[in-house]
Amino acid sequence: MLGRTLREVSAALKQGQITPTELCQKCLSLIKKTKFLNAYITVSEDVALKQAEESEERYKKGYVPPYNATVVQKLLDQGALLMGKTNLDEFAMGSGSTDGVFGPVKNPWSYSKQYREKRKQKPHGENEETNWLIAGGSSGGSAAAVSAFTCFAALGSDTGGSTRNPAAHCGVVGLKPSYGLVSRHGLIPLVNSMDVPGILTRCVDDAATVLGVLAGHDCKDSTTVQDPVQSFILPSLTDVSKLCIGIPKEYLVPELSSEVQSLWSKAAKLFESEGAKVIEVSLPHTSYSIVCYLVLCTSEVASNMARFDGLEYGHRCDIKVSTEAMYAATRREGFNDVVRGRILSGNFFILKENYENYFIKAQKVRRLIANDFVNVFNSGVDVLLTPTTLSEAVPYMEFIKEDNRTRSAQGDIFTQAVNMAGLPAVSVPMALSSQGLPVGLQFIGRAFCDQQLLTVAKWFEKQVQFPVIQLQEIMGDCSSVFENDLASVSLKQ
């Protein structure tokens, strides 16, 4: 091992052939044996061992997959550059990106000029350090990365709204394609029958471009459709008079903030004023969606998480009393409370004695929810318009006052029925709230009519002219380059 090159040793460490501590001890022992060379003046044994220990912790944290997800490979095949892996809630369970092992994701808008100026007006300015806003989730890292201009597009996953929710909070476009349009091969599953790789970009056209790359049958995912995929290039809609926009009345819930509600109405009026037919529609089973999702999600989670037993990969605890004891301790240590809670309740729902009463019933409710959409679309509605979230992003300290389950139920309220039905949906930022924070609205389309959906979203995006985030303060030296960039972007628009 000691004769190898840095590169080789690094690979050995990554593959777990040797631990950092073992390697460190090998070096230390050879240093002692070769003391006569008089090469070292001081040997910092303690420091080195401590560093090795820390290094070991770091290695434990990262799982490096040996293969690329189909969506990643397709992007790479098109010459895209992969900037990194973004942060999220553990196993995508959450709606704030606050419950991951790498710590919470901070919403770039916390540091925007728009938000800070509003905050300054407040008499009792709280501590800036602790007052940052959540990014939304679970794919909050992806939304934040796109929002902060660190990349042009990011992938998320969307099981109940995990792409659209952070998109709305971070003021970017979040697209959940139709189920079956984009391969899930390589997507770590949450709820296989609802998961879809999501796309986060700063404009609708970009989302369509990425979708064009990702969409299509994948022989590695038997649930992708075999029909040839049409182009996702979006026409610039000039006339919306032939469009019928549905406003589901069940989405007007008491918890909806008045500001979001008024923006939603404004958007509806915008369509109406441009000649579109805007009608109120009913999705009568919407209110059962959250509880139905709870059962189906946790049941599949219980099943999907069974593989994380510490044998093949990932964390493994040191207990060697029995295989069962090792499983139990590994899973106790390796999963956070949220994940464990979902595994436990899911296993309860699929017990033989409960299966009929919970799982089967939830599946039936799911069918009713899906049929609600089918009925509405059959009645002539082209696209549904709804809020994406109840309100704009809240400060982290505020957010964690409620537990993950409560927050997920709130966060997914408008987004998650779409996943039950496998429909395409996109969140488009509309305007800033009175606090200077983005508010997004959601468009829901017919299954596999992603292009039509995005065309409408693009028209809407053009009408509302959502302001660009002003991050000059935190961009520091980059700001000048940044501003030039923005200028050119504005010109283009």
Partner 1 sequence: MAAPVLRWCCPARRWILANIDRGPRHGRGAPTGSRSSGKRGQSSVAQQPLVTAQKPRKGEHQWAAVVGLEIHAQISSNSKLFSGSQVHFAAPPNSLVSFFDASLPGTLPVLNRRCVEAAVMTGLALNCHINKKSLFDRKHYFYADLPAGYQITQQRLPIAVKGSLAYSICVGKKRNQVINKTVRIKQIQLEQDSGKSLHDDLRSQTLIDLNRAGVGLLEVVLEPDMSCGEEAATAVRELQLILQALGTSQANMAEGQLRVDANISVHRPGEPLGVRTEVKNLNSARFLAKAIDYEIQRQIEELENGGEILNETRSFDYKLGCTVPMRDKEGKQDYRFIPEPNLPPLLLYDSASLPAGADPQQVINIDQLREQLPELPSVTREKLVQQYGMLPEHSLTLLNEVGLLEFFQNVMKETRAEPKKVTSWVLNTFLGFLKQQNLAVSESPVTPSALAELLNLLDQKAISSAAAKKVFEELWRSGGKTPAQIVSEKRLELMQDQEALEQLCQATMEEHPQVVMDLKKGNPRAINKLIGLVRKATLNRADPTVIKEMLEKQLSS
Binding site for partner 1 (CB under 8 A): 63, 65-67, 69, 184-189, 191-193, 219-223, 226, 299-300, 302-303, 305-309, 311-313, 320-324, 326-327, 347, 350-352, 355, 359
Q: Is the dihedral of CA 139, 141, 146, 148 positive or negative?
A: positive
Quote the least distance from Cβ 192 to partner 1, whole Å: 4
- Rounded Cα distance, 150 and 86, in Å: 11
431 neighbors 261 (Cβ within 8 angstroms): no
Q: How far apart are CA 48 and CA 155, in angstroms?
A: 38
Long-range contacts of 271-275 (CB under 8 A, 24+ apart): 271/240, 271/243, 271/245, 271/385, 271/460, 274/240, 274/241, 274/463, 275/239, 275/240, 275/241
CA gap 224, 179 in Å, rounded: 8
Any residues with CB less than 8 A from the CB of 300 and at least 6 apart, and which?
A: 189, 190, 191, 192, 193, 346
Residue number with CB closer to partner 1 (15 or 222): 222
CB of 297 to partner 1, least distance (A): 12
Cα separation of 427 and 457, whole Å? Answer: 8
Q: What's the CA gap between 347 and 393, in Å, rounded?
A: 33
Nearer to partner 1, 358 or 460 (CB): 358
Query: Which residue number, 121 or 322, has a Cβ lying nearer to partner 1?
Result: 322
Both ends of the chain: CA-CA distance in Å? 57
Distance in Å, CB of 332 to partner 1, minimum: 14
Please name the amino acid found at residue 382. D
Which of residues 370 and 413 has its CB atom nearest to partner 1 in the complex? 370
Non-local (6+) Cβ contacts of 194 within 8 A are 159, 160, 179, 296, 297, 419, 420, 422
Contact by Cβ (8 Å): 244, 382: yes
Cis omega (within 30 of 0) for bond into 110:
no
92 or 432: CB nearest partner 1: 92
CB 54 within 8 Å of CB 19? no
Comparison of 188 and 474: residue with beta carbon closer to partner 1: 188
- H-type helices in 177-314, by residue range? 204-214, 258-273, 289-304
- The H-assigned helical ranges of 62-160 are 70-77, 113-120, 140-147
Please tell me the distance from the alpha carbon of residue 372 to that of residue 167, in angstroms, as a whole number. Answer: 26
Report in angstroms how near the CB of residue 431 gets to partner 1 at its nearest: 37
* Cα–Cα distance, 132 to 98 (Å, whole number): 12
Cβ-contact 136, 95 below 8 angstroms: yes
Q: Which is nearer to partner 1, 345 or 452 (CB)?
A: 345
Minimum separation from the CB atom of position 183 to partner 1 (A): 9
SS3 185: coil
